């Protein structure tokens, strides 16, 4: 097999019910075939391993790596080490892509001579055993931006406004930049590790672009219990924010104002995650109070009031889902 133009990395753990869908979609792409698909079996204990072996045996573009369970970030890091393409993409085992995604992403990063290109995505909501397709569709306004100071300003703004630069799966990266700076996912960070990787990459980027096409299909509600548990640990969010603070320009007043807005919004996101969790109410109040005290928020003095408010917000959100 000739050197591929694109390397695709998918970390996989106990995904026998879904992983065949995205692998099949990738291998069936007709208009772009110059890729390698690196499947990292992260110690699966169900039938995932046999499914991956069958795909590897049927297509020489598939590289199968099997390891003891070490977590999603460690699995992605192994994939990065093995990648040989010009460009790099990451997908998740329980999601899906549009048929033209690979072709469109490679074409755009090559044509624009960018270091990174981001696209939009579709969200399929898993709610009470049913799938609501296209529950949300995000199509960013297209742009091409050069100069690292401009990129940093745009990224911080985006984190607050639309999350375009938050995830791994809607992007294509120049692999040589990843390799040159030895960029890795943070293994002991189980929430927001996508963002911290992207920020480290974007520190070195001189040209980035966005396209409006919604090419990735994210399955919301299929996150692992480990991810859900990690979202309830405020320390994870603090580490995410520290990475963002280090990325932003400390001499730019606009970026500093945006950071404070982001901090408040992330606190409310944490509060909602706590409220929606199965934790006992007393634990919910304790965690909200501790997080509020850390941020010196007035609401930390009355966590029960905050808990009731978040419950109201969640109820309205669920009502919208039912009416959709």
Cα 148 to Cα 63, 177, 245, distances in angstroms? 35, 14, 16
What proportion of the chain, given as a percentage, has pLDDT over 90? 68
Q: What is the pLDDT of residue 297?
A: 58
pLDDT, tens digit (0-9, with 9 covering 90-100), for 251-263: 999 999 999 999 9
Residue 129 in this model has a pLDDT that exceeds 80: no
Q: What is the DSSP string of 135-185?
A: EEEE-PPPEEEESHHHHHHHHHHHHHHT-TTT-STTEEEEHHHHHHTT---
> Scanning the structure block, which residue is given the tokens 């280090």?
246
DSSP code for 293 = H
How many angstroms separate the most distant Cα atoms in the chain? 63
Q: Domain spans of the chain? A: 6-225, 231-323
Domain 6-225: what homologous superfamily?
A: Spore Coat Polysaccharide Biosynthesis Protein SpsA; Chain A (3.90.550.10)
DSSP code for 30 = S
Rounded Cα–Cα distance for residues 230 and 57 (Å) = 36
Residue 292 in this model has a pLDDT that exceeds 60: yes
The answer to whether the beta carbons of residues 85 and 11 sit under 8 Å apart is no
Rounded Cα–Cα distance for residues 197 and 302 (Å) = 36
Residue 172 in this model has a pLDDT that exceeds 80: yes
pLDDT, tens digit (0-9, with 9 covering 90-100), for 15-54: 999 999 999 999 998 789 999 999 999 999 999 999 999 9
pTM, two decimal places:
0.88
pLDDT, tens digit (0-9, with 9 covering 90-100), for 187-217: 988 888 999 999 999 999 999 999 999 999 9
Structure tokens given for 53: 């072996």
Buried/exposed code over 233-243 (b: 16+ C-beta within 10 A; e: otherwise)? bbebbbbbbeb
Rounded Cα–Cα distance for residues 80 and 90 (Å) = 10
What proportion of the chain, given as a percentage, has pLDDT over 70? 88
Residue 298 Rama label (left phi>0; alpha psi -120 to 50; beta): alpha
pLDDT, tens digit (0-9, with 9 covering 90-100), for 73-121: 999 999 999 999 999 999 999 999 999 999 999 999 999 999 999 999 9
pLDDT, tens digit (0-9, with 9 covering 90-100), for 302-323: 555 655 655 555 554 554 444 4
Residue 288 in this model has a pLDDT that exceeds 90: no
Rounded Cα–Cα distance for residues 11 and 23 (Å) = 12
Q: What is the pLDDT of residue 48?
A: 97
Q: What is the mean pLDDT of the chain?
A: 88
């Amino acid at each position: 097999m000739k050197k591929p133009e694109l390397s695709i990395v998918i970390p996989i753990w106990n995904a026998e019910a879904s992983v065949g869908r995205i692998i099949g979609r990738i291998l069936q792409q007709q208009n772009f075939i110059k890729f390698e698909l690196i499947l990292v079996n992260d110690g699966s204990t169900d039938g995932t391993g046999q499914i991956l072996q069958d795909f590897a045996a049927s297509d020489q573009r598939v590289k199968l790596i099997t390891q003891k369970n070490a977590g999603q970030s460690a699995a992605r890091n192994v994939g990065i080490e093995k990648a040989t393409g010009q460009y790099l993409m990451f997908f998740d085992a329980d999601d899906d892509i549009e048929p033209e995604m690979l072709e469109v992403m490679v074409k755009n990063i090559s044509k624009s001579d960018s270091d990174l290109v981001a696209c939009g995505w579709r969200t399929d909501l898993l709610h009470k055993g049913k799938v609501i397709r296209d529950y949300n569709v995000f199509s960013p306004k297209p742009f091409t931006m050069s100069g690292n100071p401009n990129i940093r300003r745009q990224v911080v703004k985006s984190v607050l406004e639309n999350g375009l630069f938050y995830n791994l799966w809607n992007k294509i990266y120049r692999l040589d930049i990843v390799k040159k700076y030895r960029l890795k996912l943070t293994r002991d960070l189980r929430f927001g590790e996508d963002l911290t990787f992207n920020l480290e990459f974007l520190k070195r980027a001189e040209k980035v672009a966005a396209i409006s096409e919604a090419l990735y299909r994210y399955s919301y509600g299929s996150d692992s219990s480990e991810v859900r548990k990690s979202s309830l640990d405020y320390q994870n969010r603090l580490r995410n924010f520290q990475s963002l603070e280090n990325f932003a320009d400390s001499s730019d007043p606009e970026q500093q104002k945006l950071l404070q807005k982001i901090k408040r919004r992330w606190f409310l996101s944490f509060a909602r995650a706590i409220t929606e969790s199965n934790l006992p109410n007393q634990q919910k109040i304790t965690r909200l109070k501790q997080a509020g005290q850390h941020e010196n928020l007035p609401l930390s003095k009355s966590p029960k009031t905050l808990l009731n408010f978040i419950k109201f917000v969640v109820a309205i959100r669920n009502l919208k889902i039912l009416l959709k």
